[in-house]
Amino acid sequence: MDLHEVFNAVLYLLKSGCQWRMLPEGFPNWVTVYAYFAKWSAPAQDGVSALERALKKIGWRGPRETGAQRLDQLFDR
């Protein structure tokens, strides 16, 4: 198994917001991806997880806001 593919699957999940079990073919099994996500998301002694460090290093700014999300925010005001 290639950890780079596991990381790509985590990025896909974070960006798309899809369900774990709906991870497309071509990525590793969702159970494997989830296990690594849980391990990488655990905070270290300084309170920052390995996943947060990796995302910061690659310049990740999170998923883009959709039009529907913007409308929801307008109606919540």
> Which pTM was predicted?
0.73
CA 56 to chain centre: 13
pLDDT of residue 47: 87
Task: Read off φ and ψ for residue 27, nearest 5 degrees.
Answer: -95, 160
3 state SS of 14: helix
Regions of the chain where pLDDT drops below 50: none
pLDDT of residue 1: 75
Q: What angle do CA 16, 23, 67 make, to 5 degrees?
A: 15
pLDDT of residue 6: 95
Token pair for 20: 């774990």
For the chain, the distance separating the N- and C-terminal CA atoms, rounded to the nearest angstrom, is: 47
